[in-house]
Amino acid sequence: MVKKFDAKSFLRSMLVPILFLIVISFAIPLSGFTSSHLIKEVMTRLARDSFLAVALIIPILAGMGINFAISLGAMSAQIGVIMSQNWLIGEKIGGIGGLLVAALIALPIAIGLGYFAGSVMNKARGREMITSMILAFLVTGFYQFFVLFICGKVIPITNKEILLSRGYGIRNTIRLETAGAFDDLLMVKVKVPGLMRPIEFPFFTYILIALACIFVIWFKRTKLGQDFRSVGQSQRVANSAGLHVDQIRVQSVMISTVLAMFGQLIFLQSIGTMNVYSGTDQTSLFAAAAILVGGASVAKATIPNIFIGVALFHTMFIVMPNAGKALTGNPAIGEYFRSFISYGVVTLALVMHAWSRAKARDDERKRLRRDKTDAAEAAKKASAENTP
Amino acid sequence: MNRVVKAIDRFGRAKFIIAAFLFILLMIAPIYGVSRVSTINDVVLRFAMNGVLVLSMVPMIQSGCGLNFGIPLGLISGLLAEAIIMEYNWTGAAGFIAAMALGALIGAILGIFYGYLLNRIKGDEMVIATYVGYAIIYFMNMMWLGLPFKNPASVQGYAGEGLRVTISLDKYWSHVFDRWPSFQGEGLVLNIPEVVNGQQTVQNLRIPVGTILLFLLFCLLIWLFFRSKTGTAMTAVGSNADYARAAGININRMRQLSVVMSTSLAAVGMVIYGQSYGFAQYYTAPQFFMFPTVAAILLGGAVLTKATISNVLWGAFLFQAVLTMTPSIINSAIELDISEVIRMVVTNGLIVIALTRKVRKNG
């Protein structure tokens, strides 16, 4: 079957990226950044944020919409980092080793939280997105309780550097022992003609992201991936085909949470410091905004969406404060504007999707009505012809 | 025994557990050196302050638009109205009433557009409302900085432009209704003797009579509205959209009207909040009203498609009591500052529970 290229629907699906391109193309010259600085920044952000965006794809495939509860995976990663820094104090196992230990600690937590989130979302059918969002806030409460009281009161914290001076609770920001462990492993410098300095980019992190993308593509082609897709298309049909719909939906959230856990580890080692209490607040917003800017919708997301989206979204993020300052003389306006754009883009994408779905439902109803009247007229005609 | 269980069920189990918990907290308060009178004082004050905000949830829930996470739209209307009235230097009760009226008007205009949007995205109202709420807050942050307000009391001192983060309403209308019926002095204050920490003291119990009456007046108006023909039609849309359509009710118009009402009420609620609090809070402040207000009406016993005035009254009272009493009493009892954690868990836990409860499918 050859898909016909539909220019109108293509334009509609690319509306958000195009709007974004226009905004950025005005903002970049205003910001006054040099292109080498900008490219370097965007390359770093691509390495830092893409993995988290990959975590959103599988729940979308299974028809759960955007999983705003990927913050749960991020929280598990943060707990893993805290514990590994606590237990590995004085050990010489290097950055990569430290991150692997953190991942090992975080993995069971992420699996458990993913199972919990999936089960809760199953109870809120049709309201998965808002539920996942509020659930993330709820679990943040428990997470803060854990890092503020359990750490130090119940779990002994021997590393004084991460402990608050009062004797229990973790400090607000902690410096990572494992900072840059992935990024510095294989830093590739590329000389681009026309630019002053060579562009550096963290090659090993890109390999990890590529592995995640290959996993997602491979997963979509497996039997299980096909099951996920059919659940995403119609739960009713999938159910009558003998698929365990509830189980598949929980699994999709679990995979997403675990991927987000790895994503947050990559994010943290790239930044080098960790915001213990507020570090996971914006995780899902930025990841969601990025893939939606990349042209994904609530029902369909592909790998290219991620890279287009992260690059566009983070370019906007970098240039906007300076552009706002140049335009209005007040850097705060630029910062507010970029927050407004982040939330606005998610709103716009959600509205466009819901709008087209409501329209499809309306068209369906109209067609049904027309079919019925057509049938009635045909029957009338037939009976008129039959009676002499 | 059976009769007791039935009575509790009719009252609502969650509500009963929370009420019992709060009652126990109040009973044990003196052990930890916390004054009962000042605790009750705080609860009553916050009940009056937040009441109308909680009430603003009712029309949209009743018409089937779900929990109004888009409440910041109303809040910023109220804030904008306050800034405008201050710009014209209206003070006292007149300024307060003018701010409420202007806020309601701005809220109604925004509500028309917001209702139009929500009518096109039926089924996804709540998640979109949340993002509309966040987006409008940040949009207005730019406006607060950029709009040409000149009043020295409300603009940032060093630059002379851009509203302050918190504007004191002292010279305008702070506590004007709290102090009713006298409109001056301290209003109704009861002096109650109480033993705190082993010492005989006299504690003030200040009752914001005017604000409570104002809240009850709005409750009465909404109660009357839902007994009118239009109100009944609105409830019908929320209960069963298909029946409502069959009965010839214009569903979209009813939903839009409910959104206009909710947004206007939220604007009025924000002005009343500022009056009681004594400050108008700009910039990111509206964020901190979104989830607590929704949680309050849920604690009062509302569900996704049904809310009554009694839910509002109980919800505003119990939720504010949880927020005020738990920090002061639990913190002194276990010597840990877990008020922030309790606030987050109670607020978001209530919303998650409401979202995961089975709702009858409609339309």
Q: For residue B89, what is the enclosing H or E element?
A: none
Q: What is the pLDDT of residue A4?
A: 60
* Partner residue facing B356 (CB), from A120, A141, A358: A120
DSSP B172-206: TTTTTTTTTTTSSTT-EEEEEEEEETTEEEEEEEE
CA distance B308 to B238: 13
Helix (H, G, I), strand (E, B) or coil at A223: helix
Q: What is the pLDDT of residue B363?
A: 35
**Rg for chain A, CA atoms, rounded:** 25
Q: Among B19, B39, B169, B33, which residue's Cα sits nearest to residue B96?
A: B169
Q: What's the whole-model pTM score?
A: 0.87
* Partner residue facing A333 (CB), from B128, B142, B340: B142
pLDDT by residue for chain A (388 residues), tens digit each? 455 666 777 777 777 888 888 888 888 888 888 888 888 888 888 989 999 999 999 999 888 888 999 999 999 999 999 998 888 776 767 678 888 989 999 999 999 999 999 999 998 888 889 999 999 999 999 999 999 888 888 888 888 888 888 888 888 888 888 777 777 777 777 777 766 677 778 888 899 999 999 999 999 899 988 888 888 888 888 888 888 888 999 999 999 999 999 999 999 988 888 998 888 888 888 899 899 888 888 888 888 889 999 999 998 888 888 888 888 777 788 888 888 888 888 888 888 888 888 887 778 777 877 777 777 777 777 777 666 4
Q: What is the pLDDT of residue B182?
A: 64
Query: Can you name the residues that pair with A151 across neighbouring β-strands?
Result: A155
Assigned fold of A7-386: ABC transporter involved in vitamin B12 uptake, BtuC (1.10.3470)
CA distance A262 to A256: 10
Indicate the pLDDT class of residue B226, thresholds 50, 70 and 90: very high
Quick: pLDDT tens for A298-353.
888 888 889 999 999 998 888 888 888 888 777 788 888 888 888 888 888 888 88
Residue B291 vs residues A125, A367, A386, B192: alpha-carbon distances, Å: 21, 41, 67, 35
DSSP secondary structure code for residue A198 in this structure: P
Q: What is the pLDDT of residue A13?
A: 72
Helix (H, G, I), strand (E, B) or coil at A187: strand
Out of A240-244, A373-377, B272-276, B303-307, pick the least confident.
A373-377
pLDDT at B74 over 90: yes
List the domain boundaries for chain A: 7-386
Q: Among B118, B108, B111, B114, which residue's Cα sits nearest to residue B65?
A: B118
In words, the CATH class of domain B35-286 is mainly alpha
Q: What is the pLDDT of residue B334?
A: 73
Residues of A in contact with B348 (CB under 8 A): 134-135, 137-138, 141
CA distance A190 to A39: 12
Spatial contact of B231 and B54, defined as CB atoms under 8 Å apart: no
How far the first Cα of chain B sits from its last, in Å, is: 41
**Per CB distance under 8 Å, which residues of A are interface residues toward B?**
65, 120, 123-124, 126-127, 129-131, 133-135, 137-138, 140-142, 144-145, 148-149, 328, 330, 332-333, 336-337, 339-340, 343-344, 346-347, 350-351, 353-355, 357-358
Q: What is the pLDDT of residue A374?
A: 76
**Quick one: average pLDDT of B247-255?**
89
ipTM: 0.86
CA distance A344 to A365: 31
pLDDT at B63 over 60: yes
pLDDT at B11 over 80: no
